[in-house]
A = this chain, B = another copy of it.
Amino acid sequence: MRIALDGMGGDNAPVSNVKGAVDAINEYKNVELIVTGDKEILEKEFAKYEFDKNRLEIIHTTEVVENEDKPVKAIRSKKDSSMVVALRMVKEGKAEAVVSAGNTGALLAGGLFVVGRIKGIDRPCLCPAIPNVKKGMTIIADGGANADCKPRNLVEFAAMSDIYSKKVLGIEKPRVAVANVGAEEGKGNDLVKKAYEELKGLDLNFIGNVEARDVINDKTDIIVCDGFTGNILLKSAEGIALSLMGLIKETLMSSTKGKLGALLIKDDLRKLKAYMDYSEYGGAPLLGVKGGVIKAHGSSDAKAIKNAVRQAIKFAEGNVVEDIKEFINEYSKKEEEASGDEE
**Taking beta carbons and an 8 Å cutoff, which residues of A are in contact with B?**
133, 144, 147-148, 179, 181, 188-190, 192, 211-217, 226-229, 231-244, 246-248, 251-252, 254-255, 257-258, 260-265, 267-269, 271-272, 275
Contacts and interface: CB of A to CB of B under 8 A. Distances in A.
A236 B262 contact: no
A147 B227 CA distance: 16
Contacts of A133: 243-244, 246-247
Determine the main DSSP class of A at the interface with B: helix
Contact of A261 (B231, B244, B264, B275): B264
B258 A265 contact: yes
Contacts of A211: 235, 239
Contact of A232 (B181, B239, B243, B258): B181
Copies in the complex: 2
A252 B271 CA distance: 10
Nearest to A212: B235
A271 B247 contact: no
Contacts of A179: 232
A244 B131 CA distance: 12
A178 to B, nearest CB: 12
B228 A189 contact: yes
Which 3 A-B pairs rank lowest in CB-CB distance, beginning with the nearest? A213-B239, A261-B264, A261-B265
8 contacts: A147-B189, A192-B228, A212-B231, A213-B238, A216-B240, A241-B244, A254-B268, A261-B264
A217 B239 contact: yes
B228 A188 contact: yes
A238 B212 CA distance: 9
A241 B239 contact: no
Given A233-B236, A239-B213, A147 B248 contact: no
A316 to B, nearest CB: 30
Contacts of A271: 251
Given A257-B267, A261-B263, 5 more contacts: A147-B190, A217-B239, A217-B243, A229-B229, A236-B236
B264 A258 contact: yes
